[in-house]
Structure 1
């Protein structure tokens, strides 16, 4: 909108700026080509009124040269684009401009001959054919320069347009990427492990019959866990402190389900508790460890959550269940994908020396 308004204003008022510039250019080139021309001596002896009249005629010539040159260039814009055949366009446009200037000068000369009185003998004797050709060459050079400026302005507009289009495409691509990322994050957050649902509802069902009071506490903690999950569906990052508070409620469910067979310990510095982490990350890692490892009185499962620098480490001892359990593969893939989308960070997984470690970068937010 701004560019269009600017173009309209330029098209409306360009004569106010262009014609004086063309006139100055015309005089300058005339002088540079032949500073010793007899014309300059002739002009220097004219009266003020005759000098102003000469300047007026020169201004009219400059205006007509500018109009004809720009008209040829605009007509060529419609007929032959610079984008398709630039060399052909350049040659044809130059030839047409020279022809147009030649015709213009002849028409102008004939018109002035009819309108103005015959020049005095001393003026006629001042000029020869060389001066006439010099006049034509100067007018042709000025006309070619005008069309060159017009062409440069055309390419400048095309460059600005292409840059704006490229910037708009990049902006659209960024918006699409952000939209896709948000949709994918929502999908990842909703991918709760079905084992988590099945195991907790099975435990609740058993407690209702055997220990109703404990079942009420279990249900309260379970509802707290789900409130946390639902509350953070629209959050990409939360504080580690919030996540650890959630894990406290979740650890109660684990303790009811497994007793002392699963031991969860947490040791995180106060400074790191204020840093960020994707929600439900620790729950997925704990559930993943329980799902794939033996947790019994003889072989307790130890899960430790601690920090090292700006990294949170979730570690468990490896004692894999002998038979293969059906796995959706959502846990670790979910965490890795969220870190990749949100922070462009990698989650490091170490599986050596009987320990399974997952290193989670902590972020400032």
Structure 2
């Protein structure tokens, strides 16, 4: 069964624009001034040449599509173009020769073969081939480039998604490992406190299971979670840790990577000295320019514990994967601060709000 080629819009457009001029050119070469004055030329010669031109054009399109299937690789382009240009020139030239000799053999409308004008028609065929083939190939190359760009973007998105999933998977085991270490210490020191801690831990982990799936959470949800997480810290460290939160309500539905605040609080507790006489003060507040700042007093431990650097690098990498600039780490003699850009995304925000898991602050 014959598989008919469906020309593109560009190919149809080029045919309908160029064919009338080709008909006019050939009829002028065949009949001279009669092409503009003789009604018979318009009634019989123009339609016949138009039909032959249509067949010639379709053969060129079919051959062009066949060559694209045979030589699809970008490295094969020079070879494909060479074959295509030569083939198109031959098809169009043979069509012109056929018209001239066919009209001469029938003495159509009194025509007699003129080799000089036939030679000029062949030169015209070369020019028309260069023009039409270049236009078709330029359109094809541009469409292929667009497809490559789309495929590249999809591949990049898939890679980013995979990397983001890897970063998310680091958080839960890291968080649980630290919590179980704390619980282990409490069991040996104060069983009642250990029971309170375990109860709070169950609330917090429910958040982890529900909100870490999307990778992004609203600031409102993160703050609710961090208030519960703070109770875990209070259970373990008492008044040695203090948390102050000042959030502008207009930023409630802005987004940030899930568990960012928990990681920052955990780092602050891990790397600073905690005591009731000199408590570690952690401030969380919003600023102009859609920024959230997490700052803590700098009370660096003299003996630093081992660090796998998951916390800050995890957050930084997430912002890089989201192509969100503005993540900063600032440190001076008295404080350590991290600036988190808040992200506004209406579609994601609506999805997150619909799935939001609310944790009531511990009292």
* TM-score normalised to structure 2 length: 0.71
In 1, the alpha carbon distance for the partners of 2:57 and 2:208 equals 69
Residue 154 of structure 1: aligned partner:
133
Q: How does 1:126-275 map to 2 (within 5 A)?
A: 135-192=114-171, 196-208=175-187, 211-275=190-254
- Indicate the SS of the match to 2:145: helix
Q: 2:327 aligns with which of 338, 341, 347?
A: 347
Q: How does 1:1-365 map to 2 (within 5 A)?
A: 4-6=5-7, 22-28=22-28, 52=40, 58=45, 62=49, 83=78, 105=100, 109=104, 111-112=105-106, 135-192=114-171, 196-208=175-187, 211-309=190-288, 310-365=290-345
Between 1:336-345 and 1:281-290, the stretch displaced more is: 336-345
In 1, the alpha carbon distance for the partners of 2:91 and 2:169 equals 70
- C-alpha deviation, 1:204, in angstroms: 2.5
Gaps of 5+ in 1: 45-50, 120-130
In 1, the alpha carbon distance for the partners of 2:321 and 2:77 equals 44
**Is this contact kept in 2: 1:65–1:101, CA < 8 A?**
no
**Is this contact kept in 2: 1:66–1:143, CA < 8 A?**
no
- Kindly tell me: are residues 137 and 101 of structure 1, through their superposed partners in 2, closer, same or farther at Cα, counting changes over 3 Å? farther
**Is this contact kept in 1: 2:27–2:46, CA < 8 A?**
no
- Indicate the SS of the match to 1:303: strand
- Kindly tell me: are residues 143 and 306 of structure 1, through their superposed partners in 2, closer, same or farther at Cα, counting changes over 3 Å? same
In 2, the alpha carbon distance for the partners of 1:40 and 1:203 equals 99
Between 1:333-342 and 1:192-201, the stretch displaced more is: 192-201
**Is this contact kept in 2: 1:350–1:358, CA < 8 A?**
yes
In 2, the alpha carbon distance for the partners of 1:99 and 1:212 equals 98
**Is this contact kept in 2: 1:236–1:278, CA < 8 A?**
yes
- C-alpha deviation, 1:212, in angstroms: 4.5
- Indicate the SS of the match to 1:274: coil
In 1, the alpha carbon distance for the partners of 2:166 and 2:19 equals 65
Residue 125 of structure 1: aligned partner:
none
* Aligned positions, number: 328
Between 1:280-289 and 1:161-170, the stretch displaced more is: 161-170
- Indicate the SS of the match to 1:295: coil
- Indicate the SS of the match to 2:170: coil
- Kindly tell me: are residues 57 and 144 of structure 1, through their superposed partners in 2, closer, same or farther at Cα, counting changes over 3 Å? farther
In 2, the alpha carbon distance for the partners of 1:349 and 1:152 equals 59
Q: Which has the larger radius of gyration?
A: 1
**Is this contact kept in 1: 2:254–2:342, CA < 8 A?**
yes
- C-alpha deviation, 1:258, in angstroms: 0.9
What is the alpha-carbon root mean square deviation over aligned residues?
4.5
- Kindly tell me: are residues 4 and 97 of structure 1, through their superposed partners in 2, closer, same or farther at Cα, counting changes over 3 Å? closer
**Is this contact kept in 1: 2:89–2:129, CA < 8 A?**
no
* TM-score normalised to structure 1 length: 0.71
- Indicate the SS of the match to 1:323: coil
In 2, the alpha carbon distance for the partners of 1:85 and 1:5 equals 20
**Is this contact kept in 2: 1:241–1:274, CA < 8 A?**
yes
- C-alpha deviation, 1:152, in angstroms: 2.9
In 1, the alpha carbon distance for the partners of 2:222 and 2:240 equals 23
Gaps of 5+ in 2: 68-75, 346-363
- C-alpha deviation, 1:61, in angstroms: 8.3
**Is this contact kept in 1: 2:246–2:284, CA < 8 A?**
yes
**Is this contact kept in 1: 2:324–2:341, CA < 8 A?**
no
- Indicate the SS of the match to 1:358: strand
- C-alpha deviation, 1:326, in angstroms: 1.1
